[in-house]
Amino acid sequence: MTATAPAFLGVTRSVTGRRWRARSGDDRLASALAQRLAVPELIGRVLAGRGVDLDQAPGFLNPKLRDLLPDPSTFKDMDIAAARIVQAVRQGEPMAVFGDYDVDGATSSALLKRFFDAVGGDLRIYIPDRLVEGYGPNAPALLKLQAAGVRLVITVDCGIQAHAALATAADAGLGCIVIDHHLAEPALPRAIAVVNPNRIDENGAHRELAAVGVAFLLLVAVNRGLRQAGWYADRAEPDLMAWLDLVALGTICDVVPLTGLNRALVAQGLKVMARRGNLGLSALADVAGLSEPPGCYHAGFLLGPRVNAGGRVGKADIGARLLTTADPDEAARLARELDQLNAERRSIEAGVQDAAMQMAAGTDAQAPLVVAVGEGWHPGVIGIVASRLKEHFRRPALVIAVQNGIGKGSGRSIPGVDLGAAVTAARQAGLLINGGGHAMAAGLTVAASELGRLRDFLCQRLAPATAGLPETVSLGLDGALAVAGATPALLDLLEQAGPFGAGNAEPRFAVTGARVVQSGVVGGQHVRCVLAGVDGSRLKAIAFRSLENGVGAALLNAAGMPLHVAGALRADFWRGERRVQLVIEDLAPAAATGG
């Protein structure tokens, strides 16, 4: 759709100041998809809006790993890595997995630990302390592992930029294998093998995998190697699919595109997660109050933040420990501890967010990057705050916490703007102590004296990409429906097009001509309400954090006025009954648009 296309439902400026637009401009394709699949026109529009053609449609609605999982051997160094690990397992060599402290790192580490425990390998987990050691492999930690008897270290979700630390390990005779997905440079670190779909010499086919996806493919290769070596002649071969719940959690929380292989991994992983076979995840679901089948929302906003909490404000390895424990009592204890740490994280985050918002308030609306810098801010929450700034300003955002003259920064980007490449370029230009990432997220360490130059460099680097963004912010909608049209049957069909997340946007609809018949504030900043249609039908709805953006006030003061209400349909479970709920994102007066 072009900027001059008619506004959807005539909404040129909603309550949040956005112009509504139709996501799919190909009505013929939408109709053809609906006919081919024997589904409502609305579902055809959803699929067309995500670039699905007639040939792709059946597979899109039913993604299967067997159709999408690549041969691990197609990745550079994969066979070398697998062969060395098979040798270590067969010879009983002590190994360690060195993981990042976020959810992707914790799930990657837990995945390897569960596999090696199952096949009789000797593997321990090492997660660095965010505040003391920083991100990625460091020489003292690697040498300490070697002194404790470790002969092989596997890094997950880190290592691609750890040239100095891995060189020190190599000189000391410690073998290292790098399993990562962050942007690589032409010069790779010294290691036995470097497996990374974002190596420059890779073909790019799977560059959007999360680290846990790469780790899963590594285990497919190792498992195959052990089978060929006869390792399972007198022991049971593990079922790798049983650990797809970890792969799904890490993939969702790392906000990589849920397309292709990622989508299949998550779709199958959520099914595994629903069986509650992982004691740690089950205990975490209990403390989070999750009793319904988990979806991407639950993984990303209920489970993931709690797994992350240990690495942000508590013990770095507690998330990985929770995901690997076989003791129900320990699982319950660790889950409660993570829940408490998450509450502490939210409190710290609120203070940093308020300060960062005030600092960024004067940012030029056309600036390519929003930057907020604070002395003494907790580095464990700056990534979350960067996400909030990105959402508020609709621009890439970078939040930097400074202490003792050193800034630790975390950035989040928007589709079409590669922040990771810009940060890598800044490091190559000598502006950073360390830094890297991927398109949508990046981290860095910078001397406080270089902050001004860094800001200028990144703004200049990102300007061409952000210059192409539309001046009028829009909201894409997949279609319109009446209150009575929001049925469980429609929700069932929509869920077949999921799982939804980055790269496969959750369908968003406008519920037309609705009236608010009941509303109230819940949780301090959310507004829950009931919408009524002209035929008297009812639809539960909630607008999260809506007191910040005008949507909440509009709902509370609607006074029976007809509204077009934009949002996503999700399942709402109450006393065992599955109903439909609208998660509201925006709204506009229906009368003003001719509704």
Pairing between β-strand 509-522 and β-strand 526-532 as defined by DSSP bridges: antiparallel
Question: What is the b/e burial string over 255-276, where b = at least 16 CB atoms within 10 angstroms of the residue's CB?
Answer: bbbbbbbbbbbbbbbbebbeee
- So what's the pLDDT on residue 273? 98
The pLDDT value recorded for residue 156 is: 98
Higher-confidence residue: 60 or 201? Answer: 201
pLDDT tens-digit readout, 224-281: 999 999 999 999 999 999 999 999 999 999 989 999 999 999 999 999 999 999 999 9
**Whose structure tokens read 């300007």?**
463
Given this model, what pLDDT does residue 78 score? Answer: 98
Confidence (pLDDT) at 180: 98
| Whole-number pLDDT of residue 342 | 93
pLDDT beyond 90 at 439: no
pLDDT score recorded for residue 2:
43
Longest pairwise C-alpha distance within the chain:
76
- Among 1-5, 139-143, 182-186, 296-300, which is the least confidently predicted range? 1-5
Both tokens of 517, joined, read 């018949």
pLDDT of the residue at 594: 42
**Tens of pLDDT, residues 442-461:** 999 999 999 999 999 999 99
Please determine, for residue 384, whether its predicted confidence score (pLDDT) is greater than 50.
yes
pLDDT band at 516 (very low <50, low <70, confident <90, very high): very high
Tell me the pLDDT band of 524, cut-offs 50, 70 and 90: confident
Q: Give the pair of three-digit tokens for residue 571.
A: 């399942």
Q: Summarize the confidence of residues 340-352 as an average pLDDT.
A: 93
Amino acid at site 142: L
Q: Which band of pLDDT confidence, cut at 50, 70 and 90, is reported for residue 392?
A: confident
Give the Å distances, CA to CA, from 359 to 71, 306, 353.
49, 28, 10
| Residue 578 reports pLDDT greater than 90 | no
Is residue 177 scored above 80 in pLDDT? yes
Instruction: Please state, for a pLDDT cut of 70, what percent of the chain lies above it.
Output: 98
Give yes or no for residue 592 having a pLDDT over 60: no
Q: Is the pLDDT of residue 354 over 60?
A: yes
Q: How far apart are CA 407 and CA 259, in angstroms?
A: 35
Burial of residue 450 (number of CB atoms within 10 Å: 0-12, 13-18, 19+)? middle
The rounded distance, in Å, linking the Cα atoms of 214 and 538 is 45
Strand partners, 570: 581
- pTM (two decimals): 0.87
